[in-house]
Each structure stands twice: as structure tokens, then as C-alpha cells.
């Protein structure tokens, strides 16, 4: 009989994609994955040490999703879902709890394993915490192959090499300045002047209109396909990852950089000035040290194709399997 694993997700898309990526990697002959997408009330903003092992902060419809029979395993995708996972174990002590990300100091012992990025290593230490390079993601070889079949004709007339430029933006109190936007665009311009080819450009809500305009004013003369924030067409993000020959990603998003490493293509990261937090800088350095990326603004560095994709989701899925044998 297959083991039931409940995947606790919520409205945080990054965490949701991470958990779904792990679910995709689980051995389907062993596990039956059931996603529980939870909706919160205002009380979910309370700290976890107050919420404890409870359903405080869940609306009624979400509470109804958590009725018995309880699962063999629970994968909790975020800090907010951790108290709910602990409540489930209180109902059924045999349930194994797995947590993604740092949850503070409350309830750590209730989880069999907690997976947190290496760049958060200074936050907490415990025997059941395992550290990963980057974060799990939903990018798989099958999904890239499907996207390549779907999008390659769209980009077929663009001269190669195709460089995907994936742009994030502001993070919390750190604005994506016009200076950084200009420096990013100039670095990409220098890359294309050296290597030729075309660009696949995408921006995000966090990029900002002025920064986006600055970038496009510099890169618009190069052959390109652009999908800018607010476009109503189908999002070609997976197509960019699948069809590009190499990638440039801004370092503000751990998820975007981790997803880029799944392609096993040359990756350059832009970190800018007075922008990224020490946590982001530690993460980027771990990618440099592991041979997954180089600094976009250091063109003298030789870029290599990684020997294998970084697949944190598969590593976590394998650990869950080992734990339940």
C-alpha cells in the first residue's frame, strides 16, 4: 500500500513551487502525494510560538481539508504551515513531519527533518536540520523537454547563441536602482558584443517601470524576444530556460537562480551594488564555489557547463524515501 504524504501549501508561490517540485520527484510507486492548499485568516500573522500546535489562523474551509484519516508523512512548505503540521502530528503521533525552510526555534524537535538553505545556516542549529545549496524547484528534465518542443519554433529565427536574461528587482527595503539596471544592461550588452547572438528578456513586478525602460533602452537594438511585466501573452519562462544556450539571472531571487541551475547551462549572475542582502551574497557565492555560475561582471572568468544539474528537490525526495523505509 502506498504511503500518503500531505503537501501543505499556501498563497506563497515560491514555497508552493518548492513543495510541488519535491512532490514531482517522489517515488510514485511508494507515495501518494495530496496537496492541501491552505487559506489563512488574519491570525496567521501571529508568531509560531503563539500558534503552537494548532490550526489558529486557518479559515474554516482549510480546516475541513485536514480531517482524518491522517497521512503517513506531512511536507510543510513554509513557516506559516509549520504549526499546522505540528497539529497533525498531535492528532496522529506516527505521522512523520518534514519542513522546508527556517521556522524559528519553536517546535524544531517535532520534525524528523528540516531542510534549509546553506545561506541561512547561521539562524539555527539542530541535529535534524539539513542544509542545501539553493532551494528545491519545480524544473525537471521532462518539463524542459516539453517547453523546448513548445517554444523552439517561436525563437527559431533569432541568431544564436540565445542568452536568456531573467530579471527580478527590489527586495524588501532594497530598491532595484536605475544604476543597477543600467549596469546589468551594459554587462549584457558587453556579453553580446563579444559573443553575438540574441536575447530572451523577461522582467518581473519587482523590476519597476523605470528600471525596465532603462534596460530595454540599452538592449533594444539587439535581436531579442521580450516578455515584460504586465504582458498578457502566455509566459515563456520555461521556454526561455529550455531554449536558451546560456543564462543571465539577477541574484535577488534564490528561486530563479536555483531554477536556472536545473538547465545545466552556463549561468552568469548579476549582483549589483548596495542591493542584495548578506544572505543573497552567501547564496550566490555558494553557486560560484560549487561551479554552477560565475559573476556576470567578471568577463575574464571562464564559464563552464556544470557537470550535473543542481536538483535539491530530488535530494530531498530521496531523503524522505530513506526516512520512511
Q: Give the residue with greater pLDDT, 306 vs 225.
A: 225
**Residue 301 confidence (pLDDT):** 79
Q: List the grid coordinates of 129.
A: 536540520
Rounded distance between C-alpha atoms, residue 135 and residue 118, angstroms: 9
Q: How many residues does the chain have?
A: 325
For the chain, what percentages of helix, strand and coil (3-state, to nearest 5) are there? 40, 20, 45
Q: Are 263 and 180 in contact (CB under 8 A)?
A: no
**Lowest mean pLDDT segment, chosen from 41-45, 110-114, 122-126, 174-178:** 122-126
Q: What is the pLDDT of residues 56-72, one digit of tens each?
A: 999 999 999 999 999 99
Contact between 165 and 199 under an 8 Å Cβ cutoff? The reply is yes
213-220's contacts with Cβ under 8 Å and 24+ in sequence apart are: 214/178, 214/181, 214/182, 214/185, 215/167, 215/181, 215/182, 215/184, 215/185, 217/185, 218/182, 218/185, 218/186, 218/189, 219/165, 219/185, 219/188, 219/189
Rounded to whole angstroms, how far apart are CA atoms 50 and 260? 38
Q: Can you tell me the mean pLDDT for 172-193?
A: 96
- Residue 195's pLDDT is 95
Share of the chain above pLDDT 70, in %: 100
Cα separation, 31 vs 5, whole angstroms: 7
Rounded CA-CA distance 282/277 in Å is: 9
C-alpha cell read off for 322: 530513506
Question: 200 pLDDT exceeds 80?
Answer: yes
Alpha helices in 173-269 (DSSP H): 178-195, 209-219, 237-243, 254-261
94 half-sphere exposure, CB direction, 13 A CA radius = 7
Proportion of the chain above pLDDT 90, given as a percent? 83
Question: What average pLDDT is seen over the chain?
Answer: 94
Interhelix angle 312-324/13-25, rounded to 10 degrees, is 60
Look up residue 248 and give its three cell numbers: 543571465
**Phi–psi pair at 98, nearest 5 degrees:** -120, 135
Interval 307-313 mean pLDDT = 86
Q: For residue 273, what pLDDT is reported?
A: 95
Residue 261, pLDDT score? 94
Which residues, including other chains, have CB under 8 Å from residue 129's CB and lie 6 or more apart? 108, 114, 115, 116
pLDDT-based confidence at 322, cuts 50/70/90? very high
Mean pLDDT, residues 177-198: 97
Q: What is the CATH number of domain 141-295?
A: 3.40.50.2000
Q: Nearest to residue 180, comparing CAs of 246, 250, 282?
A: 250
d(CA 269, CA 222): 20
Distance CA 23, CA 313 (A): 8
Helix (H, G, I), strand (E, B) or coil at 269: strand
Question: What pLDDT is stored for residue 121 in this prediction?
Answer: 74
Instruction: Report the pLDDT value the prediction gives residue 251, as an integer from 0 to 100.
Output: 97
- 122: pLDDT strictly greater than 80: no
Highest mean pLDDT among 18-27, 119-128, 132-141 belongs to 18-27
Domain boundaries, the chain: 3-133+313-324, 141-295
The CATH H-level (homologous superfamily) assignment of domain 3-133+313-324 is Glycogen Phosphorylase B; (3.40.50.2000)
Amino acid at each position: 500500500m502506498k504511503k500518503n504524504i500531505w503537501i501543505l501549501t499556501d498563497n506563497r508561490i515560491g514555497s508552493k513551487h518548492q513543495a510541488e517540485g519535491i512532490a514531482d520527484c517522489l517515488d510514485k510507486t511508494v507515495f501518494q502525494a495530496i496537496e492541501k492548499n491552505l487559506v489563512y485568516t488574519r491570525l496567521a500573522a501571529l508568531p509560531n510560538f503563539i500558534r503552537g500546535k494548532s490550526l489558529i489562523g486557518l479559515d474554516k474551509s482549510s480546516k475541513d481539508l485536514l480531517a482524518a484519516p491522517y497521512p503517513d508523512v506531512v511536507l510543510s512548505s513554509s513557516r506559516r504551515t509549520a504549526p499546522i503540521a505540528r497539529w497533525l502530528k498531535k492528532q496522529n503521533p506516527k505521522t512523520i513531519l518534514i519542513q522546508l525552510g527556517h521556522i524559528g526555534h519553536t517546535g524544531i524537535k517535532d520534525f524528523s527533518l528540516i531542510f534549509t538553505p546553506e545561506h541561512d545556516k547561521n539562524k539555527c542549529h539542530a541535529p535534524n536540520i539539513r542544509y542545501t545549496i539553493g532551494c528545491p524547484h519545480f524544473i525537471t528534465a521532462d518539463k524542459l523537454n516539453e517547453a523546448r518542443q513548445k517554444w523552439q519554433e517561436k525563437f527559431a529565427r533569432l541568431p544564436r547563441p540565445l542568452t536568456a536574461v531573467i530579471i527580478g528587482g527590489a527586495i524588501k527595503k532594497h530598491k532595484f536602482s536605475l544604476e543597477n539596471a543600467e549596469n546589468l544592461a551594459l554587462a549584457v550588452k558587453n556579453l553580446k558584443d563579444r559573443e553575438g547572438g540574441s536575447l530572451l528578456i523577461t522582467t518581473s513586478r519587482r523590476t519597476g517601470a523605470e528600471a525596465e525602460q532603462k534596460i530595454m533602452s540599452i538592449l533594444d537594438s539587439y535581436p531579442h524576444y521580450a516578455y515584460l511585466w504586465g504582458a498578457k501573452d502566455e509566459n515563456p519562462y520555461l521556454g526561455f530556460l529550455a531554449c536558451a544556450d546560456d543564462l543571465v539571472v539577477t541574484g535577488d531571487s534564490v528561486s530563479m537562480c536555483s531554477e536556472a541551475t536545473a538547465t545545466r547551462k552556463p549561468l552568469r549572475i548579476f549582483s549589483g551594488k548596495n542591493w542584495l542582502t548578506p544572505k543573497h551574497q552567501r547564496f550566490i557565492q555558494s553557486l560560484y564555489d560549487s561551479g554552477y555560475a560565475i559573476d556576470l561582471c567578471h568577463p575574464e572568468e571562464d564559464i563552464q557547463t556544470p557537470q550535473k544539474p543542481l536538483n535539491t528537490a530530488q535530494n530531498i525526495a530521496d531523503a524522505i524515501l530513506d526516512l520512511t523505509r
